[in-house]
Amino acid sequence: MITVADLALKLEASFIGDGEVNLSGIASLNNAQEGDLSFLADKQYKNDILTTAASAVLVRKGEAADCPAVAIICADPYAAYIVAARVFYPEDDKKPGVHSTAIIDQSATVHSTAYLAPGVIVEANAHIAENVQIGPGCVIGKDVSIGKDSVLCANCTLSNARIGERANLQPGVVIGSDGFGNVRTEDGWVAIPQIGGVEIGHDVSIGANTTIDRGAIDPTVIGDGVKIDNQVQIAHNVAIGDHTAIAGCVGIAGSARIGANCLLAGGVGVVGHLEIADGVTVTGMTMVTHSIKASGIYSSGTPIMENGLWRKNAVRLKTLDRLARRVEKLEKSDKTNT
């Protein structure tokens, strides 16, 4: 519970209305109830402010007149919302300590300020730095190191990895698993020993059930500030440049090199052993089959259609080359005729 006046102070903002109003949570304009703070960031929701039941709203100066509740005036309501969210919902900081059911190898080093939840397992020579929080059921394999202020949610499995500072790993993340390396022999496939590691920079976040394989020989590398969504698959020896963002269900095959400040939208597939330049955006479900040398936006795929129409059009793709040749022939004939 915080008053409008106290919140405005934290936001270094002014307000129009009763500063003594109490706020206890945050909701969208449409879902807010009495006691909620809301915000108007995107103009497409500007009509929602007229009918909101919120007790206070973060708005730009020009929008205060429409606000039926206390208006807190901000240059950037969305940025102010982000600050306010942490006021109402502080991060769930755990008290330092190791739960009695956690099992730590005697050769591992765990900083006294770290928190290890029930059932955590830390193997030989692992290193857990200051203020690291490790959720229930996580397995920290031998030689793994985790940089300070990192948070691991439940049931993550790490091996052969060095994680930077301020990492955020959602539940079910797997890092350092064996890459998919096999050679065909007369006796069938033989696994190639995977002996490389995974090196992850600072400020990296990794979504639920995402997997990142260890390198075959040299390491798999994830740069600083990289943001990875859920269920992404990153194969051995992939390199991802700083501040690149990768949305859900992306798959990146072995030894692909993705530049810095790239955006891979959901479901993108990247073929192995190619390079993507810095600043490239790839739209959803595109398959990247060759290197991309210049920044820009790239796409593949076909538009969604009603199924009947799609069937008629799709079948023509089987003879598209022939169709093009028929047009060429007509063009020649047309030239002769005219």
236 annotated active-site: yes
Nearest of 22, 31, 71 to residue 53 by alpha carbon: 31
Contact call for residue 197 and its own copies (CB under 8 A): no
User: If binding is defined by CB under 8 A, does position 22 make contact with its own copies?
Assistant: no
225 binds its own copies (CB under 8 A): yes
Nearest distance from residue 7's CB to its own copies, in Å?
15
DSSP symbol at 243: T
* Options 5-13, 46-54, 56-64, 241-249: segment touching its own copies (CB under 8 A): 241-249
Q: Binding its own copies by CB under 8 A: which of 208, 275, 278, 279?
A: 208
Q: Tell me: does residue 125 bind its own copies (CB under 8 A).
A: no
* Amino acid present at 78: Y
Among 9, 50, 75, 190, binds its own copies (CB under 8 A): 190
x/- mask, its own copies, residues 61-80, rule CB under 8 A, reads -----------------xx-
C-alpha distances out from residue 281 to 79, 132, 290, 303, Å: 25, 33, 14, 19
Please identify which of the residues 202, 236, 243, 273 carries the catalytic annotation: 236
E strand or H helix that includes residue 282: strand 280-282
Task: Determine whether 319 is exposed, middle or buried from the number of CB atoms within 10 Å of its CB (0-12, 13-18, 19+).
Answer: exposed
Match 């029930």 to its residue by tokens: 118
73-84 in b/e burial notation, b at 16+ Cβ within 10 A?
A: bbeebeebbeeb
Q: Which is nearer to its own copies, 16 or 271 (CB)?
A: 271
Site for its own copies in 143-162 (CB under 8 A): 153-155, 157, 159
Among 139, 161, 167, 222, binds its own copies (CB under 8 A): 139
Residue numbers annotated as active site:
236
